Amino acid sequence: MKKLLLPLLLMGLFACNQQKNEKRMTVTYPETKKVDTIDTYFGTNVPDPYRWLEDDNSEETKAWVKAQNKVTFGYLDSIPFRDVIKAKLEELWNYEKVGSP
């Protein structure tokens, strides 16, 4: 038994160390501007360079969100097993539900 332990352990290590020839997708995010907004709280300056993103009615913020969504959904749509996961989740969530009358 002891003679088999070392070869099995080595085989296991080599099996775990095999690199797959998967293509790596590089994600290029859109540029996000920074502004020079500084708040002072109790004498401490707190920079808030992304304050402009808080205005969700701004056309600039809407354009930024649209660009970010294009990157995000482009990546998510490229996942090959996404439909399998979706089908499994729908199967798990599709059970009889009881609510109040």
pLDDT at 88: 95
Any domain includes 73? yes
Any domain includes 60? yes
DSSP 15-53: HHTPPP-PPPPPP-PPP------EEEETTEEEE-TTGGG
Instruction: Give pLDDT tens digits along the chain (101 positions).
Output: 667 777 777 777 777 766 665 667 788 899 999 999 999 999 999 999 999 999 999 999 999 999 999 999 999 998 999 999 999 999 999 988 888 87
Whether this model's pTM surpasses 0.85: no
Any domain includes 81? yes
Domain count, the chain: 1
User: In Å, how far are 77, 80, 81, 95 from 86, measured between CA atoms?
Assistant: 12, 12, 9, 15
Any domain includes 42? no
Range of the domain at 65: 56-93
Any domain includes 72? yes
Please report, as a single letter, which amino acid is at residue 74.
Answer: G
Any domain includes 29? no
pLDDT at 5: 74
Any domain includes 35? no
